[in-house]
Structure 1
């Protein structure tokens, strides 16, 4: 990997330290449990009652003071109040049990026509039975809620969370009912704000609600909360990592790491903080790659608890302008993907939707996907491991963020930390992306360089990237000299020659690229829109032929770049975007997909497929 200059690194480290003393973190939760879905869980997926609350009557009184901050903490919808047997009538102006129901996980925009464009608050309630067992601990886990959520159990507030795409975990051990009858209430608010991450302006649909799996995880009193089992930095012969226990008896405990198929077994002893680190020779491990996505059954045992995972092992590094996977040159044959099933309105709801998207990417000839522009479902990362697809994983620092707001930075850093926590054991993830198309300026550079430094501190075994800015000069030269590139491992950038600039598709081959950095070049976006089934000649905008010609000439133009090591054209499938309003060609969809929202492959799909076939023949000479 190419490190930043010493001066830049020192500046970023100083800023990183200063950030510890700025605004509070957005989340009130314990450290995320590694591989939480793999623990013993009680699913809360299914039907949840909901109440639409645009005035937030269930959260504030008539003087706009929050009920849950009052002396009694009572009065909000989270109380789930029922009429009592008292002879004096009570005024209750809501009733979850007689309200409509919605399927969770799922967004509200696609499940109720009244809510297609709704942005605001909706309350959700779910009853469940769980009688706590002595000596056990319980954690309520949401895969994602968009965007700000307040979470209550049996009328008591557990915490709040900001961020529409990262997990939420709250301990509920001492808040469960002794009778086993419980209810959870969630206030979800997808209102956009300029100081949030992402900011007010995006190019995807602002799906609201509880959009990923909900469950309760049961653990022992002292349990394995976190672990990292991966190859050491740039070293395929050494397995390195750690195990972290949580609980009253975490110090001085024995934890056994076992990878039976590879003949690796080691008993570790935790320190006073419940942590044990290790470095083991790993010469017998078969390395993971897209050609051979080998995964091993890894188990970690502490007392009566055994945590199991399937983990692949590989190295990723740069050498000048070359990109090396397991020490061998690789070309990233990629495509960008949104977390959305185009065939069914709404967010992708589970493994079936996600597997379909990755299967399409494999059919295109991909060995790599960019999961844009926010953290995707943890299931997606596990499927990529299984199917042999490298991954660029990203946080939604997108376009114009409130660069000088300390709380905004803390929010972005927390989302980055949670993304890395969720994906650090997935061999497929080779790039942590800290943002997309952020405008030049000193406040932005400070903000983004701090994120890059944070990502390296959390995980030095993967590449750090972002979609950089570029500019053109009258001599038809595209310059990539964004100063953020000093902090990154890839010269990665978005370019839309033939669509937003550069004239007709046939004219874009006149452009050349002046790239400042001696790093592998990865084009993070390129493309143009086509309405599936609309035909014309190669100069008829919106036609499949225009998009086809654009891809033909993009490939010619980009192939001249020295150090080109991959691309993720925009995008695999047409997706919903509120800002795309042309009533004939868009109708609420971004049409840059190579596949339509009905699953129809456009002509450009086959152009890229053939190019990737040629690249595979050139680079995939061995496993």
Structure 2
């Protein structure tokens, strides 16, 4: 897809006529400087910075090394200033969105790209202002009116910076450096089975806040005593302040008071209708302080694992699921709006699914909010994927930060029932210690949901035709989640395959399936045909009926998605073809096999 001549033309235009960069950049590292996350963004006053931004491709990272040659964007730069690069309106990208699918000449590009735009603000003296990014992949550095504001690492979680001191009345200039280069110590690391979409992939907002505001809060049913709602409210500063929590539909109003750290914890007797896939009931919840009011819609439910069952609201439930990548429904590229999210989840509902696994990273907030409304249970995951550098302290720090941002953003979403800390990681002491620390951190942040990690190493006894789940990590998670590709990467008699374990826990078949090129037909023995894929699904249905501790499945995957690993020119062409739906939105035969199975569960 990449046209070399077109790319070189764009590149040299960039280096000769379009840089608008920064005067204060002798040494810029990527030490994390974003601040504690602000949540409930849709409930706050804000200015959207979505739309058209100027951009420059910078593969040599010149902008971070040579600060003397750049116009920093003053409206009237001095004529004698040595300015070699300046942004121009001709090179533009849409935000939110990945750069790969917007510009053919940078479809394969991995590296540094600079974004720039101006915006107007009627700045008020009694307000605080914060820049909020839904996500940008992978390393992001933000500059406002000539000053570095901060940086963030991680491609799929939100971050924000207080910019009150640097924001101007009237016209403001923002420059954002985004670098999606892959490196061994990053999370994920060098190799992934999905496209490394670069750019500002989710919305950007300027938040207008009161000088003291509600930074975040949580309210959920108490798993220990479901007749009570429990939670906390956290102010932006350390103030002892009176608060009110109200749920009008329940005629509930509770006075609270924060401690010297600006935190109020509470437990309130209440009996809301329970949120479930059959009844995705949401309540309006209002929290008010002296200076601020937030309004959210929240559902209330309990989730727990008991022996080999998953209990939703105290009742056993079988998770009828499907895995989903954050790939746009028809044209590819990163999902960035509610319509795209709704289409993917609508296809899941058409499967008769009650659950989705959002792989292998936190998806757009629109996905989990839409799942709340549609009644779909959610597995949410951080991209601790395959061969992370388990003994690298930076890798762990980034993983824990992503975990914290994911949980903080979505802690009020009733749909989210599983936090996953990893996918298909090789067994070993360093790996298990790394993940045990993440599990401990998860429990500290949120003890109301189940914890899992998708495993794939099992012991196979050929004589018994049995797979044994023995991974040490299973001691520390709530669910036995197994990725298994019988019929595709090995074995053919999947229907007679047996499973065993000494862990008295529920099992989810978190991945299974096989590839097919939509429209290619043949026999059930002919790889890449729709019939071959459908037969894998038929055999798995028969196998599932023989696993007494099976509590759910989420086959791989809803829709074909782009991947650099999938290079077969005839059948893949850089698409993973394991989808039940093609990249053009056409359902394959296996879709209907799974749909019929879910009707019976």
TM-score of the superposition, structure 2-length normalised? 0.93
Distance 1:375 1:472 in 2: 32
Gaps of 5+ in 2: 1-28
Contact 1:143–1:212 at 8 Å: present in 2 too?
yes
2:220 maps to 230
Distance 2:538 2:165 in 1: 62
Contact 2:332–2:561 at 8 Å: present in 1 too?
no
Distance 2:303 2:133 in 1: 31
What is the CA distance between 1:336 and its match in structure 2? 0.3
Alignment pair present for 1:126 and 2:82: no
1:264-323 Cα shifts (integer Å, max 9, x gaps): 11010111111111101112x101000000000000011242100000000001110011
Match of 1:84 among 58, 63, 77: 77
What is the CA distance between 1:76 and its match in structure 2? 5.5
1:428-447 to 2 correspondence within 5 Å?
428-447=415-434
Alignment pair present for 1:473 and 2:464: no
1:602-617 to 2 correspondence within 5 Å?
602-615=588-601
Match of 2:351 among 336, 355, 364: 364
Distance 1:263 1:595 in 2: 45
1:542-568 Cα shifts (integer Å, max 9, x gaps): 000001111000111122111111010
Distance 1:26 1:259, change over 3 A: farther
1:42-121 to 2 correspondence within 5 Å?
42-61=47-66, 67=67, 79-80=72-73, 84-86=77-79, 88=80, 90-121=81-112
1:499-514 to 2 correspondence within 5 Å?
499-503=488-492, 507-514=493-500
Match of 1:36 among 41, 52, 55: 41
**Which consecutive aligned stretches of 4+ in structure 1 deviate over 6 angstroms post-superposition?**
none
Distance 1:186 1:210 in 2: 9
1:543-622 to 2 correspondence within 5 Å?
543-615=529-601
Distance 1:417 1:411 in 2: 10
How big is the alpha-carbon RMSD for the aligned residues of Structure 1 and Structure 2? 1.4
Contact 2:298–2:413 at 8 Å: present in 1 too?
yes
Alignment pair present for 1:484 and 2:467: no
SS in structure 1 of the partner of residue 383 of structure 2: coil
1:282 maps to 270
1:394-441 Cα shifts (integer Å, max 9, x gaps): 000000000000111011000001100011000000000000000010
1:516-535 to 2 correspondence within 5 Å?
516-535=502-521
SS in structure 2 of the partner of residue 49 of structure 1: strand
Distance 1:37 1:154 in 2: 26
What is the CA distance between 1:84 and its match in structure 2? 3.0
TM-score of the superposition, structure 1-length normalised? 0.90
Distance 1:81 1:553 in 2: 66
Structure with larger RCO (C-alpha < 8 A, sep 6+): 1
Gaps of 5+ in 1: 1-23, 62-66, 68-73, 616-623
Match of 2:170 among 180, 200, 206: 180
2:414 maps to 427
Distance 1:106 1:539 in 2: 40
Distance 1:196 1:26 in 2: 13
What is the CA distance between 1:34 and its match in structure 2? 1.7
Match of 1:196 among 186, 195, 198: 186
1:58-457 to 2 correspondence within 5 Å?
58-61=63-66, 67=67, 79-80=72-73, 84-86=77-79, 88=80, 90-177=81-168, 179-247=169-237, 250-283=238-271, 285-457=272-444
Contact 2:45–2:209 at 8 Å: present in 1 too?
yes
What is the CA distance between 1:183 and its match in structure 2? 1.1
What is the CA distance between 1:37 and its match in structure 2? 2.7
Distance 1:459 1:224 in 2: 19
1:505-553 Cα shifts (integer Å, max 9, x gaps): xx22232112231101111100000100000010010000001111000
